[in-house]
């Protein structure tokens, strides 16, 4: 079917292009009116302004470039499959829910609160985001060069690989499973609680009471800055550069570093013999 092209369109009211098929839009504006492109398929959107709620729901096969979501363009992408978003500016909150096969690249999310929830098969490249509860329950994905400022990110996420990123987020990676973070900086309280198979490689980490209640926690070639009361009730294999401020009651495993400034091993709670402690400066 031949693709229809609309240039310089101005749309108003609810569902002006409902169930659109095989459509190319360029230099268009969607003003007040909910769900302008609901249940569409095979769309290519370039230089679009979304000014109102729910623009793309229940969609499949859409590419969007050089476009803007203003503040009221909230809850923009839900239940959408096979979507690529590139070089966009998104001011609206609560975007990307229950999307599958999603690519976001070279994009800024100014208000990423409650964004990227329960998405599957995701790829993020060169994304900056600000907002709490980012990436909750998302699974199967690769994320590179993400700059995120927002607490409680990636709670419940599974099967993710994150590289070359900077995360300013307390309570990050809670309840995760099979998540690997490489060559990144993570700063925030209570990091990685109740996680399973959480791995940090070549990372710099700052956390108060972080990395606790974790099963099969791995740190390879990491630096722990200003990190106290770490590894409580965790089964951990950690090789750390430099010193650790304090370690409290790990369950089992191996911790290697230059020095642990405060080591708390309460034998009424855990068996100290289950965890091997190697302080290189004491050997």
- Both 194 and 76 in one domain: the answer is no
Give the tens place of pLDDT for each residue, 207-265. 999 999 999 999 999 999 989 999 999 999 999 999 999 999 999 999 999 999 999 99
Examine the fold and report which residue of 123, 158, 183 is the final residue of a domain before the chain moves on.
Answer: 123
Residue 73: is its pLDDT beyond 80? yes
Burial class (CB in 10 A: 0-12, 13-18, 19+), 268: exposed
Question: What is the structure's pLDDT at 280?
Answer: 93
Question: What is the structure's pLDDT at 1?
Answer: 61
- Structural domain range at position 148: 132-283
- Both 98 and 21 in one domain: the answer is yes
Examine the fold and report which residue of 93, 123, 153 is the final residue of a domain before the chain moves on.
Answer: 123
- Both 164 and 48 in one domain: the answer is no
97 pLDDT band, cuts 50/70/90, is very high
282 pLDDT band, cuts 50/70/90, is confident
Give the total number of structural domains in the chain: 2
- Both 138 and 257 in one domain: the answer is yes
**Helix or strand (DSSP H, E) at 21:** strand 21-30
Q: What angle is formed at CA 229 by the lines to CA 182 and CA 201, rounded to 5 degrees?
A: 10
- Both 100 and 192 in one domain: the answer is no
- Both 46 and 114 in one domain: the answer is yes
Please, are residues 151 and 188 in contact by the beta-carbon 8 Å criterion?
yes
Examine the fold and report which residue of 83, 104, 123 is the final residue of a domain before the chain moves on.
Answer: 123
- Both 110 and 8 in one domain: the answer is yes
- Both 175 and 268 in one domain: the answer is yes
Give the tens place of pLDDT for each residue, 16-27. 999 999 999 999
**What CA–CA distances, in Å, run from 241 to 197, 225, 244?**
21, 10, 9
The closest alpha carbon to 74, from 87, 90, 58, belongs to: 90
- Both 95 and 136 in one domain: the answer is no
- Both 192 and 68 in one domain: the answer is no
The closest alpha carbon to 93, from 141, 147, 49, 129, belongs to: 129
- Both 118 and 166 in one domain: the answer is no
Residue 55: is its pLDDT beyond 80? yes
Residue keyed to tokens 């198979």: 197
pTM: 0.95
Query: For 47-63, what is the mean pLDDT?
Result: 94
């Amino acid at each position: 079917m031949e693709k229809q092209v609309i240039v310089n369109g101005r749309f108003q009211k609810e569902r002006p292009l409902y169930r659109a098929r095989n459509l190319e839009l360029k230099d268009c504006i969607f003003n007040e009116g909910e769900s302008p492109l609901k249940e569409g398929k095979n769309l290519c959107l370039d230089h679009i302004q979304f000014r109102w709620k729910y623009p793309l729901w229940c969609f499949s096969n859409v590419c969007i470039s050089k476009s803007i979501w203003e503040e009221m363009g909230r809850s923009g992408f839900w239940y959408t499959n096979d979507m690529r978003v590139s070089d966009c500016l998104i001011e609206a909150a609560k975007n990307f829910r229950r999307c599958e096969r999603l690519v976001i690249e070279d994009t800024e999310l100014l208000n990423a609160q409650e964004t990227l929830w329960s998405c599957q098969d995701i790829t993020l490249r060169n994304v900056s985001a600000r907002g709490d509860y980012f990436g909750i329950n998302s699974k199967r994905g690769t994320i590179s060069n993400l700059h995120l400022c927002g607490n409680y990110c990636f709670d419940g996420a599974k099967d993710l690989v994150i590289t070359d990123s900077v995360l300013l987020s307390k309570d990050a990676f809670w309840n995760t499973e099979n998540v690997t973070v490489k060559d990144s900086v993570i700063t925030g309280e209570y990091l990685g609680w109740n996680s399973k198979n959480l791995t940090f490689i070549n990372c710099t980490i700052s956390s108060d009471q972080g990395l606790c209640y974790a099963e099969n926690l791995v740190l390879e070639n990491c630096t722990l800055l200003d990190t106290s009361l770490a590894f409580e009730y965790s089964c951990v294999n950690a090789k750390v550069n430099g010193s650790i401020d304090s370690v409290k009651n790990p369950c089992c495993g191996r911790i290697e570093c230059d020095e642990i400034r405060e080591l708390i091993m309460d034998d009424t709670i855990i068996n100290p013999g289950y965890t091997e402690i190697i302080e290189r400066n004491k050997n």
